[in-house]
């Protein structure tokens, strides 16, 4: 690399090359942003009932996480909004019958992958909990299949343990949409006609505007929020 004033290392500086897997991920991110028409809708919903359901499931012996319960709702809503479940390649939109749900997994070295739970829509909650744990574990041990790495039709990325309420997740191209899950925190909310403190979750849906218009994307997010709130 030619040394210029912009990339010369000074005393105490560290140079990190975008090579190997990190370079490949960086290339895919740039390709996604430069070849798709990405737009993000944001929403908030009352997740108090979702968190209560997660606690009840754990008391019953099913060690489900918040993400597991949320995946269950997402699968239900995706089945009612098939226009967001698919891919766009070479000007052809493929709407998938199967819901192959990608889940973003952070790896050592500040790396990120999003393997798919294949045919997640046909599973019970218990089966999906086990399947998510399995793909996460195999992602961390580099044992994923090519189909799991490339066969996703919709992805979820979760920053729920951070202080980030909303963000703009980058599409896992060629998929049509990705759901970003933000912080869940106590906030003022109107519940049963009264202002009270409820556990409010931030959601961000990025979609490819070439294949999905703003209204159906907004309806998907609205229906998802409604379904989450009906758990309470």
Each residue's pLDDT tens digit, 189-226: 999 999 999 999 999 999 999 999 999 999 999 999 99
> For the chain, what is the mean pLDDT?
94
Residue 41 designated active-site: no
- Alpha-carbon distance 56 to 63, whole Å? 10
- Please say if the pLDDT value at position 4 is more than 90: no
**Region 80-86: what's the mean pLDDT?**
98
- Please say if the pLDDT value at position 7 is more than 70: no
Q: Looking at domain 39-229, what is its CATH homologous superfamily?
A: Chloramphenicol acetyltransferase-like domain (3.30.559.10)
List 41, 42, 191, 209, catalytic entry: 209
Is the Cβ–Cβ distance between 45 and 203 less than 8 Å? yes
- Please say if the pLDDT value at position 119 is more than 90: yes
Give Cα separations from 178 to 8, 52, 160, 220 (angstroms). Answer: 37, 25, 15, 12
What confidence score (pLDDT) does residue 10 get? 75
Sheet with strand 177-191: strands edge to edge:
38-46, 194-208, 177-191, 154-158, 101-103, 116-117
Asked whether the CA dihedral 15, 21, 22, 27 is positive or negative, the reply is positive
What confidence score (pLDDT) does residue 232 get? 66
What confidence score (pLDDT) does residue 16 get? 86
Instruction: Work out the pLDDT band at 11, boundaries 50, 70, 90.
Output: confident
pTM: 0.92
- Torsion (CA) 117, 229, 182, 143 in degrees, nearest 10: -10
């Amino acid at each position: 690399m030619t040394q210029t004033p912009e990339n010369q290392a000074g005393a105490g500086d560290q140079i990190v090359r975008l090579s190997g897997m990190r370079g490949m991920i960086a290339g895919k991110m740039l390709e996604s942003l430069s070849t798709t028409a990405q737009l993000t809708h944001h929403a908030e919903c009352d997740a108090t009932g979702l968190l209560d359901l997660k606690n009840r499931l754990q008391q019953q012996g099913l060690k489900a996480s918040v993400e597991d319960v949320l995946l269950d709702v997402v699968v239900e809503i995706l089945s009612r909004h098939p226009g967001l479940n698919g891919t766009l390649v070479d000007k052809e939109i493929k709407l998938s019958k199967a819901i192959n749900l990608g889940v973003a997994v952070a790896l050592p070295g500040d790396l990120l992958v999003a393997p798919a739970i294949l045919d997640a829509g046909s599973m019970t909650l218990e089966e999906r909990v086990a399947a998510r744990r399995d793909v996460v574990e195999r992602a961390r041990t580099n044992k994923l299949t090519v189909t799991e790495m490339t066969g996703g039709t919709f992805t979820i990325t979760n920053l729920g343990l951070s202080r980030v309420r909303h963000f703009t997740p980058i599409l896992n191209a060629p998929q049509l949409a990705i759901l970003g899950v933000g912080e869940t925190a106590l906030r003022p909310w109107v519940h049963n006609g009264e202002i009270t403190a409820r556990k409010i979750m931030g959601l961000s849906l990025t979609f490819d505007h070439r294949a999905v218009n703003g209204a159906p994307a907004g309806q998907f997010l609205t229906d998802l929020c409604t379904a989450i709130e009906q758990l309470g």
